[in-house]
Amino acid sequence: MFDLSLDMMTATTLDGYVVVANPRFETTLGWTDQELRSKNIMEFVHPEDQEMTAAEFAQLNQGMVTMNFQCRVRCKDGSYKLLSWHAVPSLERGIMYCTARDVTDDEQLFRTFAEHNNQVIWMEDPVAHRTVYVSPAYEQIWDRPCSSLYTNPQGWFDAIHPDDKERVESEREAQQHTGIFNAEYRIVRPDGSVRWIRARGFPIRTATGRITRLAGMAEDVSDRHNLETHLRHNERLATIGTFAAGVAHEINNPLGAILLAAESALKRLDERSVIELAFQDVLVGTERCGRIVDNILKFSREESLEKHPAELNSLVDHAANLFARRAAEHSAVVGFELAADLPSLLLNETEVEQAIYNLLENACNAGARQITVRTEQLAEGVSLAVDDDGAGIAEADMPHLFEPFFTTRRGRGGSGLGLSITHGIVADHGGTISIEPRAGGGTSVCIQFAATRANTHKEPYDG
């Protein structure tokens, strides 16, 4: 069996000296048994593979079994063949029993596949920290020669954009333990151009689970990133268009209050106190219009709306005051159950007032005569609820309530933007919003905000 085996078979000492080799060595490599005897296997290993082969010997000398270990071995004619080794040590006898198979053709098939692929295919030795193989696509994508990676295996990493290096380094450290690598990052090419790369790596293990190689692929995904950026830009433009339509809906509310105040002033010119109150309402409504427009302009400039520590109950009071005339028009009464000593929240006051006003407006539009605004302190934040005794919401409409332009009042002036905008405001504050039917009729809308950890201490006013 030893002489007839189609695999190369040999017995060596624990330090690698050949004791006996079967005829398959001569068939495959050209070396006879006599030529191999008393020679150390390391004499035939390719110089670039000797460090990892020595590490494999060290593992065998600790009693570990080698499975599918690959290295290049010199033939008698000076060429090299890639052999896949299995080895079992016998520490008591001081002998290693080894079999090897020629996998050079398998490697050639791999190289043919890799060299006709537009993705970079790579393989590295994690023990010797060297590049075993990198496909020609590396030169097209990184714009650096493949040979540079063999002399400097860190070359691909050195090209990574400075802003991405720390994140990729973290992924590489994790790879040392799991063998898995998955990251997207930018590289800077020698001409200064930037490309987006998606890289994936995986381990090649022996039968015992030991990682002998790390392999993977890297592809240029710059076109995809550019397309995504373009789509995000278009989406923002579309959203700005939606906001433009929403501006009319949102500004109509304070404009209505301004109009009512002005009309009251004109009708009561002989009563100075009424005129003063009316013009105060005009000022408040005008300022609110200005803040709404300012927020829209900030959005169009892709700036985040500023948030500051604020008291939710104060915003409820302000929004309710603005809504008072609107409630009177609908013969609705707004009541309050506001918890005392609520923690400050990090809020954009104009946005949150706008959201509260929208909820009050929706309650009136649903025919509510009694509206209750409640605030409550939670374990990790604050809740705001608006309960009403209106007509309620049909079950079939529930999944669509936050969709832009969805309304059940299309023929009565509804735009379908109020709840959609409110949902966006809440989401921008990291909060949640839910809508539930109330037992006995009506609707309850609940918003939850997380409490801010910001310093809410206010310096005394000295102006």
The CATH number of residue 209's host domain is: 3.30.450.20
Backbone angles phi, psi at 183, to 5 degrees: -155, 155
Chosen domain end from 283, 303, 323? 303
Mean pLDDT, rounded, for 241-246: 56
What is the number of domains present in the chain? 4
Examine residue 266 and state whether it is found in any structural domain, yes or no.
yes
Examine residue 316 and state whether it is found in any structural domain, yes or no.
yes
* 20 and 124 assigned to the same domain: no
Examine residue 290 and state whether it is found in any structural domain, yes or no.
yes
Q: Give the pLDDT confidence of 122-153 residue by residue, as tens digits.
A: 888 877 778 888 888 999 999 999 888 888 88
Sequence-ordered list of residues with C-beta below 8 angstroms from that of 230, at least 6 positions apart, any chain: none
> How many helices (H) does the chain have, and how many strands (E)?
13, 17
What is the per-residue pLDDT for 129? Answer: 79
Task: Please state whether beta strands 333-338 and 370-378 pair in parallel, antiparallel, or not at all (unpaired).
Answer: parallel
Please answer whether residues 144 and 135 qualify as being in contact, where contact means their C-beta atoms are separated by less than 8 angstroms: no
* 126 and 213 assigned to the same domain: yes
Categorize the per-residue pLDDT at 299 as very low, low, confident or very high, splitting at 50, 70 and 90. very low
Backbone angles phi, psi at 51, to 5 degrees: -65, -45
- Assigned token pair, 61: 């000398």
* 239 and 328 assigned to the same domain: no
What is the per-residue pLDDT for 462? Answer: 35
Domain of 173, in residue numbers = 106-220
Categorize the per-residue pLDDT at 425 as very low, low, confident or very high, splitting at 50, 70 and 90. confident
Spatial distance between the Cα atoms of 9 and 1, rounded to a whole number of angstroms:
10
Between 351 and 115, the more confident residue is: 351
Domain containing residue 438: CATH number: 3.30.565.10
Give Cα 302 distance to the centre of its chain. Answer: 20
Highest mean pLDDT among 3-7, 137-141, 203-207 belongs to: 137-141
Spatial distance between the Cα atoms of 445 and 442, rounded to a whole number of angstroms:
10
Categorize the per-residue pLDDT at 52 as very low, low, confident or very high, splitting at 50, 70 and 90. confident
Mean pLDDT, rounded, for 358-379: 90
What is the per-residue pLDDT for 266? Answer: 61
* 272 and 171 assigned to the same domain: no
Categorize the per-residue pLDDT at 394 as very low, low, confident or very high, splitting at 50, 70 and 90. confident
Nearest alpha carbon to residue 313 among 377, 380, 253: 377
Between 118 and 240, the more confident residue is: 118
* 72 and 136 assigned to the same domain: no
- Assigned token pair, 190: 């020698």
Examine residue 127 and state whether it is found in any structural domain, yes or no.
yes
* 311 and 383 assigned to the same domain: yes
Give me the amino acid identity at 242.
Answer: T
What is the per-residue pLDDT for 248? Answer: 55
What is the per-residue pLDDT for 458? Answer: 36
* 297 and 332 assigned to the same domain: no
Q: Give the pLDDT confidence of 78-114 residue by residue, as tens digits.
A: 999 989 888 999 999 999 999 999 988 766 666 677 7
Spatial distance between the Cα atoms of 47 and 77, rounded to a whole number of angstroms:
17
Mean pLDDT, rounded, for 305-317: 87
Please, what is the average pLDDT of the chain? 80
Judged by DSSP in three states, 63 sits in coil
Examine residue 145 and state whether it is found in any structural domain, yes or no.
yes
* 250 and 262 assigned to the same domain: yes
Chosen domain end from 168, 201, 220? 220
Please answer whether residues 41 and 20 qualify as being in contact, where contact means their C-beta atoms are separated by less than 8 angstroms: no
* Alpha helices (runs of H) in 268-417, residue ranges in sequence order: 272-300, 312-329, 349-365
374 - beta bridge partners? 337, 385
Give Cα 381 distance to the centre of its chain. Answer: 26
Examine residue 1 and state whether it is found in any structural domain, yes or no.
no
Point out the least confidently predicted range of 105-114, 229-238, 255-264: 229-238
Q: Give the pLDDT confidence of 21-40 residue by residue, as tens digits.
A: 999 999 999 999 999 998 99
What is the per-residue pLDDT for 445? Answer: 93
What is the per-residue pLDDT for 417? Answer: 65
What is the per-residue pLDDT for 256? Answer: 65
Mean pLDDT, rounded, for 366-381: 91
Sequence-ordered list of residues with C-beta below 8 angstroms from that of 164, at least 6 positions apart, any chain: 185, 186
Between 12 and 181, the more confident residue is: 12
Examine residue 3 and state whether it is found in any structural domain, yes or no.
no
* 168 and 255 assigned to the same domain: no
* 209 and 267 assigned to the same domain: no
Domain containing residue 246: CATH number: 1.10.287.130
Question: Which residue has tokens 């500051």?
Answer: 308
Between 349 and 395, the more confident residue is: 349
What is the per-residue pLDDT for 460? Answer: 33
Between 8 and 228, the more confident residue is: 8
Chosen domain end from 54, 87, 102? 102
* 411 and 449 assigned to the same domain: yes
Asked if pLDDT for residue 257 goes beyond 80, the answer is: no
What is the per-residue pLDDT for 358? Answer: 86
Nearest alpha carbon to residue 334 among 319, 347, 312: 319
Percent of the chain residues past pLDDT 90, beyond the cut = 30
* 24 and 144 assigned to the same domain: no
What is the per-residue pLDDT for 302? Answer: 45
Examine residue 432 and state whether it is found in any structural domain, yes or no.
yes
